[in-house]
Chains A and B, each alone.
Chain A
């Protein structure tokens, strides 16, 4: 044990030194009281529904969400719109279907089983419309960025005037949380940009929080059942472990030895 502690000290010292030499580049992300963190974390239904509104009215003109279907909006553990609401949302989009019996493609109102409509036909079209930068698909975006939800939440609020002496090209913006500080997406959010149906004030901070919550759900649609099942599984395992521990003690008591 003593040796173990000694080694532990040496290693942590080495790690500590190297972390220290590294810390200058690290930036602290903004964070907020995410309802979905922790052992019993659940999504805030209101935030998910508001977040969906921000996504549709603001983000979806450039960012696709190709792994989501309109049916997901009514599923348990998600924004939980009623089936009727989700159907109405789906129907508000024009979906290209086909070919029909004449061999023609046609458009029709969306159905629950349709995937979210893509803003562009393909990656090249998306790049052409956005100065060469591809607005990433948002389905798993939260999991595809190192800082996760805090990173997205910070980035949305991280627009500032560039420091003196920094020249930005046309269509490039300064964001203090972006890797390299240069981002091709302009600041999208401004106070009162959307009008929330539930009367919540649409501040930049509120919208960032709501849309980030929505993105977290989009990336982990089964997060709630994962947390619930996890708690049950771990409680079950702990009880079983205790029972097995006492059985073990009993069985080994036949032998004259410690265990």
Chain B
């Protein structure tokens, strides 16, 4: 932001801007030089902002009608669905919005992994992102408890019980979290409070995330540092705004399809049965977006170690900028990393699948192998790959591959492969 000179035209604008430089900020955001070769995988940042705002706005309206009480929560959700004007619409947007949010965040994260966006000088952006992701999972879990259905209740019981694995103080912590000796009304009211709080923490972190992004500027599919502004960049407005807008609209079509035509497909039928502490569901499963971590948790026979494995699976991402020793950012120029990247994608998908299945027999075996591979990828493959891999020559500027006619054949071929 520091390299930006801006003087408002009007006298009042100048007077105001001298006291609070909002206009300078607006001008910075409009002119922000962005690499012109960003592909559609880069539009998910904007899409995620849209998701967050949607969740906050629909959530506010729901909170006006929802009653956080163990005896009334389920009834109040049905009241919203039946009697509140367009309550069904707002609730289905909020419930499916959570899934769409995670869909977008997973694409966003895997885009970073492919193009090495977490590497120097963008480590702080990445770590803030991981914190946002953790908070998103917390918010989603807390929100899933609020309708007070069977999966809400038993999901809350299973997840809060994980804390009992902590030696010595574990049981005490669980009682403290519950506000009693089982998941009950005090648990519901505090979960509601926290579910209301976390999105605003996320919003604050998103501001930091974008601020940190605007210091070095965007990474790009070629993964090289670019001069800003230059022939390689375009101003954010109108070029990126219209492109993000186009991608967002496509995303909204998918979103609308879920909301209007299959609003319950991503949820579990048991959550339309009111919570009953005396009846345990046959299979307790979390929402789809938490399944890979659920699979990791269950693949370890020891409870404490399982919890440690699950947490490490997320926290290991924060160390990624230092685990990946390669100087080259983009997987376009890393033929071996590219293979391992896709294996990791498959590995996570498999973990998600076995997470939804009962932890026995073949499923358990597959879950264990996939868990082991997940950690192997980050702790062994990535550090070694940085030293051993023979990378392809990297162009000097992004204008070279973008305009085509590159003298480098391998590069031209790769361009074919990744023109999405």
Contact = CB atoms under 8 A, between A and B. Distances in A.
Interface string A1-30: 111101100110011001001100000000
Contacts of A139: 78
Contacts of A3: 338-339, 342
Residue among A139, A143, A219, A240 facing the most chain B CB atoms (10 A cut-off): A143
B88 A226 contact: yes
Contact of A237 (B234, B253, B261): B253
A154 B343 CA distance: 42
Contacts of B78: 67, 139-140
Contact of A257 (B263, B402, B417): B402
A255 interface: yes
Classify the secondary structure of B's interface with A. helix
A143 B274 CA distance: 12
Contact of B353 (A15, A72, A233): A15
B357 interface: yes
A244 interface: yes
A136 B274 CA distance: 10
B12 interface: no
Contacts of B353: 14-15, 18
B242 interface: yes
27 contacts: A1-B417, A2-B417, A3-B338, A7-B345, A11-B346, A11-B349, A11-B350, A14-B353, A18-B366, A67-B75, A144-B269, A148-B269, A222-B81, A222-B88, A231-B260, A237-B252, A238-B253, A240-B249, A241-B249, A241-B253, A244-B246, A248-B245, A248-B246, A251-B242, A255-B36, A256-B403, A257-B37
A18 B243 contact: no
A230 interface: yes
A227 interface: yes
Contacts of B131: none
B342 A7 contact: yes
Nearest to B92: A226
A257 B246 contact: no
Interface string B401-420: 01100000000000001001
A231 B261 CA distance: 9
A18 B356 CA distance: 12
A7 B343 CA distance: 7
A257 B37 CA distance: 8
Interface residues of B, number: 50
A10 B346 contact: yes
A192 to B, nearest CB: 33
A244 B242 contact: yes
A256 B231 CA distance: 10
Contact of A234 (B257, B282, B420): B257
A186 interface: no
Given A4-B342, A245-B246, A233 B260 contact: yes
Nearest to A5: B342
A52 B402 CA distance: 65
Given A3-B338, A3-B342, A255-B234, A144 B259 contact: no
A194 B36 CA distance: 71
A221 interface: yes
Contacts of A230: 256-257, 259-261
A86 B273 CA distance: 28
B239 interface: yes
B169 interface: no
Given A7-B342, A256-B403, A258-B402, 15 more contacts: A3-B338, A4-B342, A6-B342, A7-B343, A11-B349, A22-B357, A139-B78, A140-B78, A221-B82, A234-B256, A234-B257, A237-B253, A240-B249, A244-B245, A247-B242
A84 interface: no
A165 interface: no
Contacts of A259: 243
B378 interface: no
Given A226-B89, A234-B253, A18 B357 contact: yes
A240 B252 CA distance: 11
Given A15-B353, A18-B353, A244-B246, A252 B253 contact: no
B292 to A, nearest CB: 13
A220 to B, nearest CB: 8
Interface in B99-116: none
Nearest to B274: A137
Nearest to B232: A257
B280 interface: no
Contacts of B272: 140, 143-144, 219
A18 B295 CA distance: 15
B238 A233 contact: no
Contacts of A136: 273
Contacts of B81: 222
Interface string B244-274: 0110011011001101110110000110110
Interface in B356-389: 357, 362-363, 366
A67 B246 contact: no
A205 to B, nearest CB: 24
Interface in B5-33: none
Interface in A202-244: 219, 221-222, 226-227, 229-231, 233-234, 237-238, 240-241, 244
